[in-house]
């Protein structure tokens, strides 16, 4: 009996080793196979994201909102903390930018918690252009800001932070973290991350000054599915691209000053028999999410254009990156609500 047990243990160990060997071999994909696998993951992620309420929230635009949204004041979370419900007062007051008191404080909190109709968020023109005859829908959307400040000085220097969760019909639909600092004289830096409840997130970073840097990333939990970084050196009105990196899973495509060719890496290893060509449309914003394209040539001589492999994911990525970069959600909804509450409480 004891001999049988030992023999069985040895057999199981051999089978396990063989399976491990097979798995290890199967994981060594070629550049072409790796690209196909990574692209499939990105397209799947974007397909899931595009059907979420979080994506619908990020798709809000400035259409129909008031154009003078350049606030010239400073505000902190402590000033406006509390629970507020959308309960507009139909009687106008003497404030040009905020002619109606839209929110009523209904409770205490160390956070800013605002309940309002989803129509006001998904179509912010209704929030910005209320009149006394409007029907008031149900407050089924909630903004929960655990951190918020907007510091502004007359020298056009500012420091901004928003840390907020969003719920629709009591269900989480996303989380936003945004940090912005700087000003017109010395450039600014901006970092924004929106996390979907499905586990995906989109991150953008922008930095201006003598060196301009723009980047975005698409991630699933802690794994980066796709990322791009473009770095420029500014010289007056002109700028010269200094570095470009596009990562698609475990594949990196790099171009730097001082290097003649575009380098392609797989798992950090330079692929000497592969080639890449960057195709630009003479556009100021040379990002793959805009108009830049890349033609890859594999070891077997076949080629693939990234724009074709990632279509229509690129269009959705473009809209996400633009929305986060231009701060639509923060400017036209959260900031507008925060200042509306602030100006009607002083």
Between strands 263-266 and 269-270, the pairing is antiparallel
pLDDT digits (tens, 9 = 90+) for 29-38: 999 999 999 9
Each residue's pLDDT tens digit, 141-165: 999 999 999 998 767 788 999 999 9
- CA-wise closest residue to 112 among 72, 149, 87: 149
> For the chain, what is the total number of helices (H) and then of strands (E)?
10, 18
Rounded distance between C-alpha atoms, residue 96 and residue 45, angstroms = 44
Q: Among 117, 85, 89, which residue's Cα sits nearest to residue 104?
A: 85
Q: What local confidence, expressed as pLDDT, does residue 67 receive?
A: 55
Is this model's pTM higher than 0.85 or not?
Answer: yes
Q: What is the pLDDT of residues 27-80, one digit of tens each?
A: 689 999 999 999 999 999 999 999 999 999 999 877 757 655 556 678 999 999
309 in the Ramachandran plot: left (φ > 0), alpha (ψ -120 to 50) or beta? alpha
Q: Give the pLDDT score at 261.
A: 79
Higher pLDDT, 298 or 22: 298
- Average model confidence (pLDDT) for the chain? 86
What pLDDT, on the 0 to 100 scale, is given for residue 194? Answer: 97
Structure tokens at 62: 């400035």
What is the residue extent of each domain of the chain? Answer: 47-343
Residues 218, 303, 314: CA angle, nearest 5 degrees: 30
- pLDDT tens digit sequence for 119-146: 999 998 889 888 777 788 999 999 999 9
**pLDDT (tens digit per residue) in 240-299:** 889 999 999 999 999 988 776 799 999 999 999 999 999 987 666 689 998 899 999 999
């Amino acid at each position: 009996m004891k001999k049988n047990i030992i023999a069985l243990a040895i057999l199981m160990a051999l089978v396990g080793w063989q399976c491990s060997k097979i798995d290890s071999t199967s994981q060594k994909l070629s550049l072409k196979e790796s690209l196909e696998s990574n692209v499939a993951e990105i397209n799947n992620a974007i397909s899931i994201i595009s059907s979420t309420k979080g994506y619908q929230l990020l798709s809000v635009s400035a259409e129909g909102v008031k154009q003078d949204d350049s606030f010239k004041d400073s505000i902190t979370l402590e000033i406006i903390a509390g629970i507020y419900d959308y309960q507009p007062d139909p009687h106008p007051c003497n404030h040009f930018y905020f002619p109606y008191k839209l929110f009523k404080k209904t409770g205490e909190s160390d956070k800013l918690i605002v309940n309002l109709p989803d129509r006001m968020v998904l179509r912010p023109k209704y929030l910005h252009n209320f009149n006394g005859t409007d029907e008031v829908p149900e407050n089924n959307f909630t903004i929960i800001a655990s951190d918020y400040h907007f510091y502004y000085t007359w020298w056009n220097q500012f420091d901004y932070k928003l840390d907020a969760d969003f719920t629709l019909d009591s269900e989480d639909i996303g989380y936003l973290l945004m940090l912005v600092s700087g000003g017109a004289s010395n450039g600014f830096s901006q970092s924004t991350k929106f996390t979907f409840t499905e586990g995906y997130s989109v991150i953008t970073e922008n930095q201006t000054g003598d060196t301009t840097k723009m980047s975005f990333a698409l991630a699933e939990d802690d794994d980066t599915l796709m990322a791009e970084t473009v770095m420029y050196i500014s010289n007056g009105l002109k700028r010269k691209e200094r570095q470009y990196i596009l990562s698609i899973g475990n594949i990196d495509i790099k171009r730097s000053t001082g290097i003649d060719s575009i380098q392609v890496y797989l798992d950090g290893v330079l692929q000497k028999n592969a080639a890449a060509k960057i195709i630009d449309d003479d556009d100021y914003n040379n990002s793959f999410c805009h108009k830049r394209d890349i033609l890859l040539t594999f070891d077997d001589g076949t080629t693939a254009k990234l724009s074709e492999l990632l279509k229509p994911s690129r269009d959705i990525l473009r809209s996400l990156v633009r929305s986060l970069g231009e701060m639509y959600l923060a400017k036209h909804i959260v900031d507008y609500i925060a200042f509306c509450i602030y100006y009607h409480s002083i």
